[in-house]
Structure 1
Amino acid sequence: MAKSTALVPPNAWETHIHVFEPQKFAFSPDRAYTPATAALNDYPASKTGCTNVVVVQGTVQGEDPAPVLDVLNASPAQGDPPGLRRGLVVLDLDKHTDEDLDKLHAAGVRGIRLHEVSWGFGTQPTDSEFAERLRYAASRLNRLNWVIDVYTHPKTWLALVPTIEALPSSTIIIADHWACLRPGDEEGAECQAILHLLRSKRIFVKLSSTERQSSSPGSIESLEKMAKLFVGAGPDRLLYGSDWPHTALPGPRQGKTREQRLTDVEEFREVNLASHVRSLRDWIQDEKVWQDLWVNTPRRLFE
């Protein structure tokens, strides 16, 4: 089979990476873990074939968008992906005026991230609290055509269906990381809710952190059925994301003390992104769907 990059169309978009540079921007003291350093020019574009990138603010970076803005504003360096840079940031919207948001937009920010999975660290909002948060975000961000990038449990997606359907149709919601669904969930009410929202064009789904959502981190083949269901329900509403630089799995850190989580630097995992691209191509044979996944859909959301 040809190299993975030969499979990916020109001007492809990578919609989910993180850049961690704690020597420039200290991590949040409330973080659940401490990752190693990852600069933009470390991103393996040769494995994904992507030239345009969306830098997503990580939970360890708190609510100050400065780390993402630094990447967006930096001059191109050797090894950087050569295309466009866009950002998704974490904000307390009560602390930012519309003028603040306009400035972020001018810098290349195209949305916010609502990460609502605590993995046992900190607290998570109730479904009703999160629904209100989503409504408020839409009321502030729709004028900018910003995306609301959501990472939450499948049960919460199911509970959010009435809220999402009541929002203006212009609201752009992205379900992160396969909507947090896993192999075996295909017939459940939560997956059916996601498929319904895809068919009714109320959400997009990001095929990101793929190895985390699979049955085994070493193989993603267990996600083939889910991928084909997503393609059938929303062929023009899917996005690719690698979730580079592949932070450690949360299980081993469960027993760590707060001090250990702040001081133990977790190295990144090796993930075979080229094989992910090949598997996606095997599962998505339609040329238009393939072009939409990599180019057309992310371009209209982020360009």
Structure 2
Amino acid sequence: MAEPAPAGLALFPHGAWDVHHHIFDPARFPYSPTRHLTPPPATIAEYAEFKKKLGITHSVLTHGLSYGADISSLTSFVCDLDKSKTKAIGVIDPETITPTQLHQMQKAGIVGIRVNLYQYSAMHDVDLQKEALRAHVTAIRDCQGWSMAFTHVHPEFWAELKPFILSEIVPTGIRLVTDHFALLKGVSMLSEPTSASGENAGEVDVLAQPGVAEILDLMRAGHLYVKISAPYRAAYAADEGPDGGGGAGGDAVSGG
């Protein structure tokens, strides 16, 4: 349970966990030269102000893919944010990571990894996604309690990913997470405007889109967790943030 927030903060008066946010400080830690995008700065100071404003007391700092597999920024940011109130999700190169490095990550407050599909040119290729997941599972198999997150833009891939997950990931005990509502689309993204005002005619069944049935099956069986984060990726009405959502301000869950 999160500790109470400072007096006068009404949104989360009993404290809250921000379950997905990034810190970007290229002045202190340069971005990877092979990054897929260049986000604007989102600093510790900005995030501290964001937390204070909302009443957030704890957070899960998610390593920005723009830093590649170099987690020196992540471990530094965890200390800056207070290790006792911050957990972290890292990024690794499964081909080069060593058991000693994984142990050091655990000691630094890292409790899981996210798979950088861009590293494998796998965002649009389900077979390459399975290859990337397989490599990361092998690398962290002995990291007890760790989670592994991955996010892709093709919900139709879940029909093929589901049996792979059941046969190759579930037996390892690694908790699988997909961020940002699994990048499923909300009504506003599934509907086409039918008038100049942007209104839509009729109702849209969001549960009928590809991938939903497989995702729900995996969730109900306890094999997949869908992170409620980056709503702008699911609906046109939400605000954007850099590098997959959140920026210095992320996605909060009440601790009350």
State the match for 1:202 in structure 2. 223
Query: Relative to 1, partners in 2 of residues 1:159 and 1:47: Cα closer, same or farther, differing over 3 Å?
Result: farther
1:283-294, aligned counterparts within 5 Å?
A: 294=254
State the match for 1:39 in structure 2. 43
1-side partners of 2:148 and 2:24: how far apart?
22
- Alpha-carbon shift at residue 248 of structure 1 (Å): 8.2
1:208-287, aligned counterparts within 5 Å?
A: 208-217=229-238, 246-247=241-242
Alignment partner of 2:60 out of 50, 54, 57:
54
- Alpha-carbon shift at residue 114 of structure 1 (Å): 1.4
Q: 1:144-168 CA distances to partner (integer Å, 9 max, x unpaired)?
A: 2211011112123332100111121
Query: Relative to 1, partners in 2 of residues 1:248 and 1:98: Cα closer, same or farther, differing over 3 Å?
Result: closer
TM-score (norm 2): 0.75
1-side partners of 2:127 and 2:110: how far apart?
28
Q: Residues 23 and 247 of structure 2 are in contact (CA less than 8 Å); yes or no, is this contact kept in structure 1?
A: no
Gaps of 5+ in 2: 1-8, 191-205
- Alpha-carbon shift at residue 125 of structure 1 (Å): 6.0
1-side partners of 2:54 and 2:173: how far apart?
30
State the match for 2:199 in structure 1. none
Gaps of 5+ in 1: 77-81, 219-244, 251-267, 278-292, 297-303
RMSD: 3.2
2-side partners of 1:163 and 1:249: how far apart?
25
State the match for 1:23 in structure 2. 27
Identity of aligned residues (%): 23
Counterpart code for 1:89: G
> Is 2:76 aligned against 1:70?
yes
2-side partners of 1:155 and 1:189: how far apart?
5
- Alpha-carbon shift at residue 143 of structure 1 (Å): 2.5
1:136-147, aligned counterparts within 5 Å?
A: 136-144=135-143, 145-147=145-147
- Alpha-carbon shift at residue 39 of structure 1 (Å): 1.6
2-side partners of 1:152 and 1:173: how far apart?
14
Query: Relative to 1, partners in 2 of residues 1:136 and 1:62: Cα closer, same or farther, differing over 3 Å?
Result: closer
Q: 1:54-92 CA distances to partner (integer Å, 9 max, x unpaired)?
A: 11111211221111011123375xxxxx95112111211
1-side partners of 2:162 and 2:215: how far apart?
9
State the match for 1:160 in structure 2. 161
State the match for 2:133 in structure 1. 134
Q: 1:194-218 CA distances to partner (integer Å, 9 max, x unpaired)?
A: 1111101101110000133113236
The SS at the match of 1:74 is: helix
Query: Relative to 1, partners in 2 of residues 1:270 and 1:66: Cα closer, same or farther, differing over 3 Å?
Result: closer
Q: Residues 45 and 51 of structure 1 are in contact (CA less than 8 Å); yes or no, is this contact kept in structure 2?
A: yes
Q: Residues 178 and 206 of structure 1 are in contact (CA less than 8 Å); yes or no, is this contact kept in structure 2?
A: yes
Counterpart code for 1:189: P
Counterpart code for 2:73: P
> Is 2:176 aligned against 1:148?
no
Aligned residues between the structures: 223
2-side partners of 1:88 and 1:40: how far apart?
17
Alignment partner of 2:12 out of 5, 25, 28:
5
State the match for 1:92 in structure 2. 93
TM-score (norm 1): 0.64
